[in-house]
Structure 1
Amino acid sequence: MEVRVAETAKEREDVFRFRYKVYVHDLKKEVPGADHGQHFVRDPEDEAGIILYVPDRNGQVVGTLRLNRLSKGVSDDLRELYGLDKVDDVPASSIAVASRFIVSNEAPTAGATLSQHALGWALEHAITLVFSYCSPHMVASYEQLGFRRYKDNFTDPVGYRIPMLLVLFDKDHLRSIGSPLYPSIGPMASEQAWNAFFGGHFPEYDLPVNPRMYPQ
């Protein structure tokens, strides 16, 4: 499967329609940013976001993911939602928010393809922290990548959400859970500091890894 960046107006509109199909048509959700006239779902973060998508053989969108760097600006609502004040000591240019991660039931492997491409983007742009959230049934998949729960859960118009954080250079954690991301993470001068980052910033969520959950 090929991952593309939605750069043209048509590509972006195709992604907005795919979001609408999944959120409104399939899941029957009333979501902010839904345009029932054009059958779009979009929001202000789309303006500065990198919108990735996977097309099928007919060119139809079957998966998408949006990446926003904090240095490009995020809304106050998102800043509060993710609790970004907790990481004010990290340069905004090295923090990203991953959102609007949607995969069609007809193309389940698109999720892994998008995740791997997003990792490449993060490494290329010297990203160290990736914030996201997911539905309860996706928590295990996120945790197997290396994401960790770091704050209270919440409910939005789509459903119950679990905030997740990936400390990309916490190699101790990635290695301990057998994350598929680990082999791609190269050496870093401040590696020891990143290994201690999560426990220092979110001590109440810094729990021992259960080896039964992450067999090597």
Structure 2
Amino acid sequence: MINNYQKAMSCAAESSENSIEIGIAITPSEKREVYHLRYQIYIEEMSKQLGNTDYVNKLLYDELDEWTVLLYAKIGSELIGTARINIGTLAQFPQEIVDFLSLDTFQDFYTEHSDHKFAYTGKLMIAPAYRSSSALYLLMVKGYEVFCSNQIQFAFGSSNFHLLRLYEQMGFRRYSKNFVESGYGLLTPFILVVNDIDHFRTVRSPFFRIARKRGAVNMQAVEWFHANFTKNSPVINSQIVTEEELWTVLCKRLASPPTEAIAILHKLSVSEAKKFIHCCGAYVQCDSGDIITNQSDVSYSYNILISGRLKSLTFHRPVKEYTIPGQHFGANGLTELTKHTEDIAAMDSVEILVLSGLAFQRFFHSHPEIAHKIVQSMISLTRSKPLRIK
């Protein structure tokens, strides 16, 4: 089961970091090439239904592309990745983005400079054959350099749950409620406090090497952010929490050891389960009404209910609910790529453990014995008769 997924996600060639060129798409032909890569990944690979899609020419772009810094990654003439950065004042961003990201809250920091600029990063993607290469990190580092050269204090973005670990590894932080963007589903907003060097050091961000060489920087934005968002935050950052801390939280919420409550952990020892969850998991909170899985969307994670109640919006007779702590819901995106078969929504405030399939690929290489046990558990669960919850 895991072999096909590994093959799809592995790097087609052992390309060195020096062979990957990072640049900015400027000409119409360069931009068109980027728009086509977006189409291949979002429409053809992920089966998303998005507005502003040119199905005839197989291109994907929107109004933000009219004033963006459009980054690309290439090996030779082959485009293998891209990212987009918009830099502007509050008034320049669409109101929908201002609302989703709570940008007006951050405008309060700039009481004397109403025209201060924010950065909004998005459309970050790597071609499947190069997702094990350094392309993504090189794109992100280039993006950080763009932030610095434009004197950006706060850079924003959003992602689906399976990518939260990745962005937290970079140094981004979750800071606000989830929101829904048409075509993309439920997203979590995140922020990079550009001068937060101590945080970059703590999470071993690739930005730390650049940040520490910048010399004296203005720390007022860092201090303001921590005073207003970090203190008493309920967010469990995947890169800051320790194995023991995460395990303790899960034991308390599940009212039993995760090795007993979560089926795919049954074959693991406690120490193995701790390692697996800590390396692949993200602890996520959702509000009542949040639709966590969308029917026909490709799953890139394996979701576990920790607390609260979920309800299927697809199956009504009988009503299908998920109420058992430790219960899996949605399609398996951990060891293979499958599509969700139902829309599943939170009935009240819920906490879930999102086990990322992308993180599992790296885990498979670093901890093969544990990973093989997970794969075997998955095979056993697939063969067994599913439990119907009413």
Instruction: Work out whether residues 141 and 206 of structure 2, in 8 Å CA contact, stay in contact via their aligned partners in 1.
Output: no
Superposition pairs for residues 17-96 of structure 1, below 5 Å? 17-57=36-76, 59-71=77-89, 73-88=92-107, 89-90=109-110, 92-96=115-119
Q: Counterpart amino acid of 1:14?
A: E
Superposition pairs for residues 193-212 of structure 1, below 5 Å? 193-202=220-229, 203=231, 205=233, 209-212=240-243
Deviation at 1:211, TM superposition (A): 4.3
How has the CA–CA distance of structure 1 residues 183 and 155 changed in structure 2, closer, same or farther, with 3 Å as cutoff?
Answer: same
Instruction: Give secondary structure in 2 for the equivalent of 1:205.
Output: coil
Partners of 1:187 and 1:130 in 2: CA distance: 20
Which residue is equivalent to 2:138? 113
Partners of 1:189 and 1:6 in 2: CA distance: 30
Deviation at 1:200, TM superposition (A): 2.6
Which residue is equivalent to 1:103? 126
Deviation at 1:75, TM superposition (A): 1.3
Deviation at 1:98, TM superposition (A): 0.4
Deviation at 1:93, TM superposition (A): 4.3
The answer to whether structure 1 residue 181 and structure 2 residue 207 are counterparts is yes
Query: What is the CA deviation profile of residues 108-147 of structure 1, one whole-angstrom value per residue up to 9, with x for unaligned ones?
Result: 2221110111111111221111101112121111111110
Instruction: Work out whether residues 55 and 61 of structure 1, in 8 Å CA contact, stay in contact via their aligned partners in 2.
Output: yes
Deviation at 1:14, TM superposition (A): 0.8
Range with bigger deviation, 35-44 or 197-206:
197-206
Structure 2 segments unaligned to the other structure (5+ residues):
1-19, 244-277, 280-390
Deviation at 1:170, TM superposition (A): 1.6
Partners of 1:121 and 1:195 in 2: CA distance: 19
Partners of 1:22 and 1:77 in 2: CA distance: 24
Structure 1 segments unaligned to the other structure (5+ residues):
none
Q: 1:128 aligns with which of 113, 130, 153?
A: 153
Partners of 1:211 and 1:124 in 2: CA distance: 34
Superposition pairs for residues 154-173 of structure 1, below 5 Å? 154-156=179-181, 157-173=183-199
Length, aligned pairs only? 212
Q: Counterpart amino acid of 2:222?
A: N
Larger radius of gyration: 2
Q: Counterpart amino acid of 2:216?
A: M
Deviation at 1:19, TM superposition (A): 0.7
Which residue is equivalent to 2:11? none
Identity over the aligned pairs, expressed in percent?
23
TM-score (norm 2): 0.51
Deviation at 1:189, TM superposition (A): 4.7
How has the CA–CA distance of structure 1 residues 26 and 173 changed in structure 2, closer, same or farther, with 3 Å as cutoff?
Answer: same
Partners of 1:55 and 1:180 in 2: CA distance: 20
Partners of 2:128 and 2:224 in 1: CA distance: 36
Instruction: Give secondary structure in 2 for the equivalent of 1:12.
Output: helix
How has the CA–CA distance of structure 1 residues 79 and 195 changed in structure 2, closer, same or farther, with 3 Å as cutoff?
Answer: closer
Partners of 1:70 and 1:171 in 2: CA distance: 24
Over the residues paired in the alignment, what is the CA RMSD in angstroms? Answer: 2.2
Partners of 1:204 and 1:138 in 2: CA distance: 24
